[in-house]
Structure 1
Amino acid sequence: MTIGFASRAVAAGCALCAAGLLAAGPAAATARPGAGTDLRPPDGRATAAAAPAALLYRSGTQVRPRAGAPDVPDLSARSWLVADARTGAVLAGHDAHRKLPPASTLKALFALTLLPILPGGLRHTVSAKELEGIGAGSSLVGVAEDRAYRVSDLWNGVFLSSGNDAVHVLSALNGGQRATVTRMQAKARALGARDTRVKSPDGYDAPGQVSSAFDLAVFGRAGLRNPDFARYCARAEARFPGRDGGSYGILNTNRLLTGADGVRPYRGLVGIKNGYTTHAGHTLIAAARRNGRTLVVSVMNPRSGHRHAVYEEARSLLDWGFEAAGRVDPVGSLDAGRATEGATEAAAAAGPQARPVGAAAAGDAGGTPGRPVAWTVAGAALLGAAAVALVLRLLFGPAPRD
């Protein structure tokens, strides 16, 4: 009877041990993010997270068509991408992370960086020094020294006329070009745009200044989420203050928006930004909305020789994207860079007591400070062993001393 009772006690202790191990189970499970997780939404379609992040780093065109999906257009651009602006799912891309000069599409990052910190109603009188160093052949809106402008006027000059003179003045209000470049670079990193290297705030050609179709699409998508950015980039025309106290009209240089120079305007276009330099060729970030869906495309350096190729190739991508939506699986996500880097930075900033569960689990699995899975399991096992020893001590008394 005593033996039987002891066996039951040991069994009870072992049950406690097992319970301790089971209690550790959630920690062990979260150490492998995504393990056993169905990444498909209820309708069975794959999400952007289901696509390997490395897919967009491969050369050539990347697309995952289903049966009945339309063929991807054959384009001459050195790099391009089309994505869903709401979800960030990349529908297709070609050399999407290829680092190329961005030209004035970099002004999208400039606007994302400074719009939140420069009030539109602020008035500023421009000095001659603020207009120094503008690159030869730059596009200008006509900013004049000793003339007072509202910041909102200068933003019209940036978005519509791609005015490098307006960029220089706004940079001066931010503390100068060097401070602005540093802030733009930090903003690019915060958005997960890791291909971008900022050397000039206006996008004028500078050694080492590059971006990618992926990063430009990231900037365009982020811009649509900023009400001021979205309003400026969709504006086809505006009035700009003249030197004599009057004003004159300016037209958006994005021909896909305005239909200028014989380019047919795109139905549903919500704008964003175009660019051109001798080194970069033509570049464009464009977004359009149809039937409740918004797409963002980026096109870098078409080589067909047609003067409006960047607009026509963007048109082809938008047409394809609206037709292909729901018929292709994502090849990546515009959130990929931010998700990887952002979780690490947020965890470091918050400290060990405030890390998100997912970030803590991923960090623990990699050996960073926290509660490693191996120690959790070992602790549970010791707890169970202690329970067994306690039960045996209660049954048989203290162990004899030597």
Structure 2
Amino acid sequence: MTWTPTRRAARLLSGLALGCLPVALCTAAAVGSGGDGGGSAALPAPAQPAPARPAPALPAPAAPVGGPLLGRPGVQVLPRAGAPALPKDLSGLSWVVSDAGTGQVLAAKDAHRKLPPASTLKTLFADTVLPRFTATTTHKVTDQDLAGTGEGSSLVGVQAGQTYTVADLWRGVFLASGNDAVHVLAHMNGSVQQTVTQMQAKADMLGAHDTHVVSPDGYDYPGQLSSAYDLALFARAGLTNHDFAQYADTATATFPGGHDAHGKAVPPFGIHNTNRLLSGAKGVHPYPGIIGVKNGYTTNAGNTLIAAATHGDRTLIVTVMNPRSGTPEAVYHEAASLLDWGFAAADRTDAVGTLNAVQAAASPHPEVAGAHPHDGRGQVADAARAVADPLPATAWYLGGALVLILAAAGSILVLRRRAARRR
């Protein structure tokens, strides 16, 4: 039989049709089995002959999450021509500058260094618990709800016997960094320990593998750790939620009163956000375009901060952990200088890594799920929603494989008919 171009084309298409199917199915299985347990079952891989003498399995080296440069010690930055220099006198033990929309990490220092997070861990608490209750849900606080709040904790002033809305409690968490409000919400969620377990699962799902959760409020407990990289993940995930962004962006609010220990009425009182880049205080000016997110301080952690700001259509997230300069309010000044650098350098640097793609959880309240159209939160939410969902990805691969197979089969049939006519 003579080998003709027609037959070559037919064989090529036939091989493509047969070869693409296992690739598509294997790829679909890999995508569909990800997520938090809600994917489809993995498809079996094609059978392979067993080797006569199997080699011993060696553990694969763990690659740094976000890219190899983020696993290196020291400052990582890849400036292009004309890029501004990084700020001088940055004393934070660890910091990260990232683009909330694209997920690109523009610069970092010891991004995965595990350090005590202090109250910045409340962002992971909010990522985990905030979607579980509507803002208008009410709860009468009991003594048990407040049990276990660490000695010397920051408090907003929640009182047993008083009824609060969930929105009241979240304002107590974000503005006053109230550990009492955290414990009440954790008990509403089932228990403190259940909430800790869920937070750890949420961190693992986000790819925040530097984080070990011991308490939901960030209090100084042995072994409670996170990293500048992980805190950026928590902020990016949170900013896709309208309520999270709104609480993080609130500078002042009124907290409900109640009655003191002697039964005397306590009127409502004002609370101020302790994030000074938002509210301003002690020589720190509010940062232009600031949208939160959360600050913290403990003896072991020192000062920690997650700051996000929007200029134009770009939102940046900066995390700073434990500045060592001794300068008053150093964490705010260093974060502000990193934000300035990030906005100036964003188009003049190559990324040194990336934040894991984060998919916003489906909100049970569509009316509050969308972001404000006039600020940077819409950009963050749009970027998160653009992440492919595992199930549609599986369908895409299978559908694409089927279309390709049918197209190839049709082409083979047409070519064979033409060849038959020639003969």
TM > 0.5: yes
Q: Which sits farther off after the overlay, 237-246 or 56-65?
A: 237-246
Alignment of 1:66 with 2:80, yes or no, is: yes
CA distance in 1, matches of 2:76, 2:91: 15
Secondary structure of the corresponding residue to residue 272 of structure 1: strand
Secondary structure of the corresponding residue to residue 273 of structure 1: strand
Q: CA 1:29 to 1:331, structure 2 compared with 1: closer, same or farther past 3 Å?
A: farther
Could you tell me which residue of structure 1 aligns to residue 370 of structure 2?
A: none
Q: What amino acid sits opposite 2:394 in the alignment?
A: R
Q: What amino acid sits opposite 2:308 in the alignment?
A: A
Alignment of 1:272 with 2:293, yes or no, is: yes
Secondary structure of the corresponding residue to residue 323 of structure 1: helix
Q: How does 1:147-226 map to 2 (within 5 A)?
A: 147-226=162-241
The answer to whether the 8 Å contact 1:194/1:337 transfers is no
Q: CA 1:136 to 1:17, structure 2 compared with 1: closer, same or farther past 3 Å?
A: same
The answer to whether the 8 Å contact 2:237/2:358 transfers is no
Name the count of aligned residue pairs: 337
| Deviation (angstroms), 1:55 | 1.3
CA distance in 1, matches of 2:209, 2:23: 30
Structure 1 unaligned segments of length 5 or more: list them: 1-5, 34-50, 339-345, 362-375, 385-390, 392-402
Q: What amino acid sits opposite 2:279 in the alignment?
A: T
CA distance in 2, matches of 1:79, 1:172: 33
Could you tell me which residue of structure 1 aligns to residue 253 of structure 2?
A: 238
Q: CA 1:358 to 1:217, structure 2 compared with 1: closer, same or farther past 3 Å?
A: farther
Structure 2 unaligned segments of length 5 or more: list them: 28-64, 259-264, 360-388, 413-418
Q: CA 1:7 to 1:267, structure 2 compared with 1: closer, same or farther past 3 Å?
A: closer
CA distance in 2, matches of 1:14, 1:192: 47
| Deviation (angstroms), 1:292 | 2.1
2:127 to 95, 99, 112: 112
| Deviation (angstroms), 1:23 | 3.1
State the TM-score, normalized to the length of structure 1. 0.76
Structure number having the greater helix percentage: 1
| Deviation (angstroms), 1:312 | 0.5
Secondary structure of the corresponding residue to residue 158 of structure 1: helix
CA distance in 1, matches of 2:2, 2:234: 67
CA distance in 2, matches of 1:359, 1:223: 33
CA distance in 1, matches of 2:200, 2:399: 27
Q: CA 1:359 to 1:79, structure 2 compared with 1: closer, same or farther past 3 Å?
A: farther
CA distance in 2, matches of 1:24, 1:96: 45
| Deviation (angstroms), 1:355 | 2.8
The answer to whether the 8 Å contact 2:291/2:308 transfers is yes
Q: What amino acid sits opposite 1:299 in the alignment?
A: V
Q: CA 1:14 to 1:294, structure 2 compared with 1: closer, same or farther past 3 Å?
A: closer
| Deviation (angstroms), 1:115 | 1.0
Q: 1:366-394, CA deviations, whole angstroms, 9 ceiling, x for partnerless residues?
A: xxxxxxxxxx9xxx9xxx9xxxxxx9xxx
| Deviation (angstroms), 1:161 | 0.3
Q: CA 1:15 to 1:234, structure 2 compared with 1: closer, same or farther past 3 Å?
A: closer
Q: How does 1:83-98 map to 2 (within 5 A)?
A: 83-98=98-113
Q: CA 1:302 to 1:27, structure 2 compared with 1: closer, same or farther past 3 Å?
A: farther
CA distance in 1, matches of 2:393, 2:252: 48
CA distance in 1, matches of 2:243, 2:325: 35
CA distance in 2, matches of 1:307, 1:354: 50
Q: What amino acid sits opposite 1:19 in the alignment?
A: L
The answer to whether the 8 Å contact 2:111/2:227 transfers is yes
1:17 to 4, 11, 16: 11
Percent identity among equivalent residues?
Answer: 56
CA distance in 2, matches of 1:256, 1:265: 4
1:355 to 383, 394, 398: 394
Q: 1:122-151, CA deviations, whole angstroms, 9 ceiling, x for partnerless residues?
A: 111111111111111110001111111111
CA distance in 2, matches of 1:265, 1:359: 51
The answer to whether the 8 Å contact 2:24/2:398 transfers is no
The answer to whether the 8 Å contact 1:159/1:233 transfers is yes
Alignment of 1:141 with 2:162, yes or no, is: no
1:318 to 330, 339, 352: 339
Q: CA 1:147 to 1:357, structure 2 compared with 1: closer, same or farther past 3 Å?
A: same
Could you tell me which residue of structure 2 aligns to residue 387 of structure 1?
A: none
Could you tell me which residue of structure 2 aligns to residue 369 of structure 1?
A: none
Secondary structure of the corresponding residue to residue 298 of structure 1: strand
2:68 to 38, 54, 73: 54
Q: 1:150-200, CA deviations, whole angstroms, 9 ceiling, x for partnerless residues?
A: 111111100000000000000000001011011111111222222111110
Secondary structure of the corresponding residue to residue 187 of structure 1: helix
Superposition CA RMSD, Å: 3.2
